[in-house]
């Protein structure tokens, strides 16, 4: 069994996001970048399945600029066997990413495709579902537990009502939830070994994919500042303010 894992380079979740003064986007220069957190869960699960003897190869793929190679290297350092970087400049929307992944799947012929349930930068939660539609493969989204069987997967999903367990045939697309596992840290020896693992580089244009955005971003603004709270002397005063000023009761 071969597992393809899609990983995305995003601004680190610990970084305070700042909007550019001209409102054209957010500041990314000299900002710490890292792997999208749910993608870390995806690569961890793929490596665990391989370690259990149920997969023979784990391939990490990222779509983006040259610097996204760092994200692929991290995946190699935690256990992926080889990497693929599809180079594309600027913003690459979920549909374009899905079409790129479709081409790579047709080339690599994996049995499973893992990815995070959504990216923390755009929060789109679309790529996995779009890829499943393009490939006509079954999908299991928001996975918090995966049990690999002979020719299928039993997946526990995080849904609004609680947990849902489904079974999907292989090949399949799985998007991973943060509660799926605890991603491991890459040790120094494995980081050094990862530098020797191969990363194939492909231009998105060579795949015949148009990565031009379909959505025009007009302006980016910070959310309005929250007003400071006040203290009230009694329940009666609180009720009066909620009724007459906030008008919520």
Q: Describe the strand order of the beta sheet including 139-148 as a list of residue ranges.
A: 162-169, 152-159, 139-148, 172-176, 112-116, 2-6, 57-64, 82-87, 199-203
Is there a domain that residue 209 lies in? yes
Q: Which CATH number characterizes residue 68's domain?
A: 3.40.50.620
pLDDT of residue 23: 84
- Please indicate, yes or no, if residue 246 is contained in any of the structural domains: no
Count of the separate structural domains present in the chain:
1
Residue range 101-114, pLDDT digits in tens:
999 999 999 999 99
Domain membership flag for residue 232: no
Q: What is the mean pLDDT of the chain?
A: 92
**What pLDDT does residue 133 have?**
96
Domain-embedded: residue 195: yes
Share of the chain above pLDDT 70, in %: 100
Q: Is the pLDDT confidence value at 148 over 90? A: yes
**C-alpha distances out from residue 7 to 4, 83, 150, Å:** 10, 10, 26
The answer to the question of residue 82 being in a domain is yes
Strand ranges, E, within the chain? 2-6, 9-11, 33-35, 57-64, 82-87, 112-116, 139-148, 152-159, 162-169, 172-176, 199-203
pLDDT-derived band of residue 115, with 50, 70 and 90 as boundaries?
A: very high
pTM metric for this prediction:
0.84
Question: Quick check: is 238 in a domain?
Answer: no
Q: 3-class DSSP state for residue 190? A: helix
Q: Is residue 185 part of a domain?
A: yes
Rounded Cα distance between 116 and 61, Å, is 13
- Which range of residues forms the domain containing residue 123? 2-224
Residue 124 lies in a domain: yes
Q: Is the pLDDT of residue 10 over 90?
A: yes
């Amino acid at each position: 069994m071969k597992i393809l894992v899609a990983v995305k380079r995003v601004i680190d979740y610990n970084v305070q996001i700042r909007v550019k003064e001209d409102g054209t986007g957010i500041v990314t220069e000299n900002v710490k970048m890292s792997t999208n957190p749910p993608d870390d869960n995806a690569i961890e699960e793929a490596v665990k399945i391989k370690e259990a003897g149920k997969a023979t190869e784990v391939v990490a793929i990222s779509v983006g600029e040259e610097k996204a190679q760092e994200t692929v290297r991290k995946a190699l350092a935690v256990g992926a066997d080889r990497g693929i970087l599809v180079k594309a400049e600027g913003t690459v929307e979920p549909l374009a990413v899905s079409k790129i992944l479709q081409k790579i799947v047709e080339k690599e012929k994996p049995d499973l495709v893992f990815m995070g349930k959504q990216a923390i930068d755009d929060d789109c939660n679309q790529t996995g579902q779009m890829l499943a539609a393009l490939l006509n493969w079954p999908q299991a989204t928001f996975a918090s537990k995966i049990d690999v069987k002979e020719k299928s997967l039993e997946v526990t999903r995080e849904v609004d009502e609680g947990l849902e367990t489904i079974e999907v045939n292989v090949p399949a697309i799985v998007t991973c939830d943060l509660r799926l596992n605890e991603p491991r840290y890459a040790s120094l020896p494995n980081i050094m070994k990862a530098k020797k693992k191969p990363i194939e580089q492909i231009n998105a244009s060579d795949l015949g994919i148009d990565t031009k955005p379909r959505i025009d971003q007009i302006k980016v603004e910070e959310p309005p500042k929250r007003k400071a709270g006040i203290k009230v002397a009694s329940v009666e005063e609180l009720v009066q303010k909620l009724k007459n000023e906030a008008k919520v009761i």
